[in-house]
Amino acid sequence: ELEISLKVVIVGNGAVGKSSMIQRFCKGTYTRDYKKTIGVDFLERQIEVDAEDVRLMLWDTAGQEEFDAITAAYYRGAHACVLAYSATDRQSFDAIPSWKLKVENECGEIPTVLVQNKMDLVDQCVIDPEEAERLSRALGCKLLRTSVKEDVGVVGVFRHLASRCLHE
């Protein structure tokens, strides 16, 4: 049987939870220690989506995002993209349109989802739900909310993207 493999890139400012999201989804683990990198290019996990076995390869950055130094190799051949920001970090939200452009410049139009992480920190949330919805509409990307810490919504992000890729 044909196996479907999808490369997914996860972009956004530093400290929004990209590496944590990848670890949570692929290994089922979470750590509070600030980890700059998971030490490898990508982690993978196989899931069943619409009765198809899909292998997702989730590409992490080794902190280069903070220096605007992500190389073309990171984006090369990507099938789908997660645009991630943190509910507690205004700058990370404001940076989303420029992250979208970077991905588009390297990959063209690929299935992309907007993810607001750290939903567990409700009392520290600095993003108005209305403006998040507005950005989602402006970018033409579905908005999903996650808490990688509490393991809420993470699987849904990757199921959504895999399903989009299968039906392109």
- Given the rule CB under 6 A, which residues bind ligand GDP? 14-20, 32, 34-35, 117-118, 120-121, 147-149
Q: Name the residue with tokens 């919805």.
A: 133
Cβ-defined contacts of 53-56 (< 8 Å, 24+): 53/1, 53/3, 53/4, 54/4, 54/5, 54/6, 54/162, 54/165, 54/166, 55/3, 55/4, 55/5, 55/6, 56/6, 56/8, 56/25, 56/158, 56/161, 56/162
CB of 4 or CB of 152, closer to ligand GDP? 152
Nearer to ligand GDP, 139 or 153 (CB): 153
Q: Is 19 in the site for Mg ion (CB under 5 A)?
A: yes
Q: Which is nearer to ligand GDP, 52 or 120 (CB)?
A: 120
Q: Does residue 86 interact with Mg ion by CB under 5 A?
A: no
**Considering CB distances under 5 to 8 angstroms, the limit depending on partner class, which of Mg ion, ligand GDP, none binds residue 148?**
ligand GDP
Picked from ligand GDP, Mg ion, none, the partner binding residue 9 (CB below 5 to 8 A depending on kind) is: none
Contact residues: Mg ion, CB under 5 A: 18-19
